Amino acid sequence: MQFGKLDLNPAKNPAVLDTGSWDKKNAWDIINAIDDSYWQALQEAITTHQPFPFHTCCTVYPGSYACYQQGDFVLAELHDKQKVFLEFADNDSQPFLQGKIGAKHLKSGKFLSTCTTEAANIDLYCRRIHPQKGPQALAATPRLGIGVRMSTAVWPGIWRAMAKYDFAANAIQNSLRELNMLDDVLAGKPPHTNYLFSFGNIDEGHTGSTFEGLWVAGVLSALKSETLPKYGADADHIMVKRGPEGLDRAKRIIDSARYYTFFTLDVSDILNYGALNETSAAKAEAYLTEILQDASLFKSVLAYHSQTDEATLGRLVAKYWKALDAAQVLYDHIRELKKGVPFDLELSIDENPPEVRTCQSLTQDVELRFLITEIQRRQLPITHIAPNFGVEKGVDYRCPGGLEELEARVRRQYRIASEYGIMLDCHSGDDLASATRKVFGRATEGHIHFKISPSLQVIFGETLEDLYPEQFRFWWDDTLAYARREAEGGAGMAIESLREYENRDHPQSLARTSLFQHFNFATVGKRDAQGQFIFREQFYDLPAVFYEEYTRRIEQRLGEVAQDVFSC
């Protein structure tokens, strides 16, 4: 099917469109062709709390059922993989949900209305009809942040793990690096390219999903589940880039993520890292007058931070002021967009630009206290902060002082944040060893937001190679070509991964090489010059036995992480 300039089969290429009902006529034709006897049996099952009846053309999900204003509501998946909401009512008045695509008077006397699963309708369903199954702002609830690069393939394992190990999660989560904006994909626009230190060039949107499509697919998956997960939806790493267009682009991303419940504002790129290195007290104090030119603002800031000497305060203002101003602008934009619907808000300073080394830019206690108190002065409702703890992608913790220093620092910063009711967030936890994860759990007494993402995609690759090695081969070949290209450009991680692969002493599972683990991501959502997906359908059209095994491994992996972080 054609959507704008995009040729797409949504049944095999999920989490792109902002609807689960992409062919309304066909959806209604399927529903209308089903005999009334099935609907009668379904109504009886609902009334008597019995298992829902089977039909070859339509699967109705008990976990989605809700009774609201004397109507019965359920989610159904049709044999063409479209999803629709069904409403059974006593009369033929306008259905509560929007987007009606058909209605019929049943022999039982009930009226059956079929409505779309467009984003606005799903949001209405989850906020008004069945709020227990929708994403929520979880405030100070400890949780995992689970990056879902493989979208519909990964959620069954997430819901199972959350139920089995009893933890909350932002179970819909990806960042600007991983997601597209739907309008850009439909218009055939090429992706933006970012440079990640040591990894090289990375095209944005490399999962192939969009902000809009990921939310739709994730909430529909939760509704299908028979569990009752406590979950949120995180528009992760909304980056404010340097330059005049940085804030405007961040606002566009927020618009695409309007139904999310958690917004991670990544201001790392616009921090003035050199300001803290100013050795002259006079020059450091001069930052205050240069930046705080309004007299009343100058007076207010000095009074609010009176326990900090002016030279130190000047350095902190110079490093963070522009970032805090950006956070204020974006908060105002989100507040206007959400129109009173609660949301969580995170300030993220955990990453660093290529010219700044991770272990040389660790967030110090004085920085965290300044940020939190300035947030209070501005009355910014920040619920989470992600400091730079020294965690790096691709390696376990390796900063000077080791785990002993890390644990002491995290514990101090946890106490500082807790004084103000703010939760710490640790990003990029995938490559941390169990012992390191436990450090974060102990230091925060399990009250932490702990994010992972790439490892679940790596597990997909390992499972695919284990079960269907021939089908895995295209992914490996494309990954190898990508790593070689970035190595030629001088990317340190690519060079080292290639060297390790080429010098290995014995045959090794390709999916378990560091090369694949670090560079596999680029293949999944790769698009050609015309903006069409090249490989993506191949990841979502595998045998059922593959997805069953992948679900088992995801459940096991998340259980291990949750136990390390929360069982302190």
* CA angle centred on 239, ends 283 and 370, rounded to 5°: 40
Residue 76 domain-assigned (yes or no): yes
Residue 304 has pLDDT above 80, yes or no: yes
Measured CA to CA in angstroms, residue 74 lies from 26, 30, 128, 220, 448 at distances of: 19, 16, 14, 11, 35
User: Pairing state of beta strands 71-78 and 423-426?
Assistant: unpaired
CB 217 within 8 A of CB 225: no
Residue 530 domain-assigned (yes or no): no
* CA angle centred on 403, ends 401 and 404, rounded to 5°: 70
Question: How many domains in the chain?
Answer: 1
Residue 354 has pLDDT above 80, yes or no: no
Q: Cα-Cα-Cα-Cα dihedral of 177, 182, 184, 185, to 10°?
A: 90
Mean per-residue pLDDT of the chain? 96
- Residue 381 is classified by DSSP as -
Amino acid at 327: A
Matching residue, tokens 């944040």: 417
Q: What is the pLDDT of residues 211-268, one digit of tens each?
A: 999 999 999 999 999 999 999 999 999 999 998 899 999 999 999 999 999 999 999 9
Mean pLDDT over residues 103-126, rounded? 95
Residue partners of 461: CB distance under 8 A and separation at least 6:
472, 475, 511, 516, 520
Let me know how long the chain is: 568
Residue 69 domain-assigned (yes or no): yes
CB 448 within 8 A of CB 441: yes
Question: HSE of 306 in the Cβ direction (CA atoms, 13 Å)?
Answer: 4
User: Pairing state of beta strands 423-426 and 449-452?
Assistant: parallel
Binning pLDDT at 50, 70 and 90, where does residue 92 land?
confident
Residue 393 has pLDDT above 90, yes or no: no
Q: What is the pLDDT of residues 29-49, one digit of tens each?
A: 999 999 999 999 999 999 999
CATH code assigned at 76: 3.30.200
Bridge partners, residue 450, by sequence:
144, 426
Residue 81 domain-assigned (yes or no): yes
Residue 353 has pLDDT above 80, yes or no: no
Q: What is the pLDDT of residues 311-352, one digit of tens each?
A: 999 999 999 999 999 999 999 999 999 999 999 999 999 988
How far apart, in whole angstroms, are the C-alpha atoms of residue 398 and residue 193? Answer: 28
**What DSSP string describes 21-84?**
-S-HHHHHHHHHHS-HHHHHHHHHHHHHT-PPPP-TTEEEEEEEEEEETTEEEEEEEETTS-EE
Q: Calculate what percentage of the chain has a pLDDT beyond 70.
A: 100
Name the burial class of residue 452, with classes exposed (0-12), middle (13-18) and buried (19+) by CB atoms within 10 angstroms of its CB. Answer: buried
Residue 40 domain-assigned (yes or no): yes
509-516 long-range Cβ contacts below 8 angstroms, 24+ apart: 509/462, 509/465, 509/466, 510/465, 510/472, 510/476, 511/458, 511/461, 511/462, 511/464, 511/465, 511/466, 511/472, 511/476, 512/462, 514/394, 515/479, 515/480, 515/483, 516/458, 516/461, 516/476, 516/479
Residue 413 has pLDDT above 80, yes or no: yes
**CA quadruple 177, 524, 427, 402: dihedral sign:** negative
Q: Which helix (H) or strand (E) holds 133?
A: none
Q: What is the pLDDT of residues 173-199, one digit of tens each?
A: 999 899 999 999 999 999 989 887 778
Residue 370 has pLDDT above 80, yes or no: yes
CB 219 within 8 A of CB 118: no
Matching residue, tokens 């739907």: 182
Amino acid at 205: G
CB 353 within 8 A of CB 268: yes
- Residue 125 is classified by DSSP as I
Residue 88 domain-assigned (yes or no): yes
Give the domain extent around 76: 21-117
**CA quadruple 66, 67, 72, 73: dihedral sign:** negative
Residue 131 domain-assigned (yes or no): no
Q: How many other C-beta atoms can be found within 10 angstroms of the C-beta atom of residue 121? A: 21
Q: How many other C-beta atoms can be found within 10 angstroms of the C-beta atom of residue 354? A: 10
Q: Which two tokens stand for residue 424?
A: 């710490």
Bridge partners, residue 44, by sequence:
none
How far apart, in whole angstroms, are the C-alpha atoms of residue 568 and residue 562? Answer: 10
User: Pairing state of beta strands 384-386 and 344-348?
Assistant: parallel
Residue 78 domain-assigned (yes or no): yes
Whether this model's pTM surpasses 0.95: yes
Residue partners of 227: CB distance under 8 A and separation at least 6:
63, 159, 160, 162, 163
Identify the CA nearest to 206 among candidates 568, 525, 547: 525
How far apart, in whole angstroms, are the C-alpha atoms of residue 116 and residue 99? Answer: 5
How far apart, in whole angstroms, are the C-alpha atoms of residue 277 and residue 279? Answer: 6
- Residue 429 is classified by DSSP as G
Residue partners of 301: CB distance under 8 A and separation at least 6:
288, 292, 313, 317, 374, 377
The distance of Cα 67 from the centroid of its chain, to the nearest Å, equals 30
Amino acid at 431: D
Residue 352, pLDDT score = 81
Matching residue, tokens 């979208």: 151
How far apart, in whole angstroms, are the C-alpha atoms of residue 56 and residue 342? Answer: 40
Mean pLDDT over residues 478-496, rounded? 95
How far apart, in whole angstroms, are the C-alpha atoms of residue 546 and residue 130? Answer: 32
Q: What is the pLDDT of residues 538-549, one digit of tens each?
A: 999 999 999 999
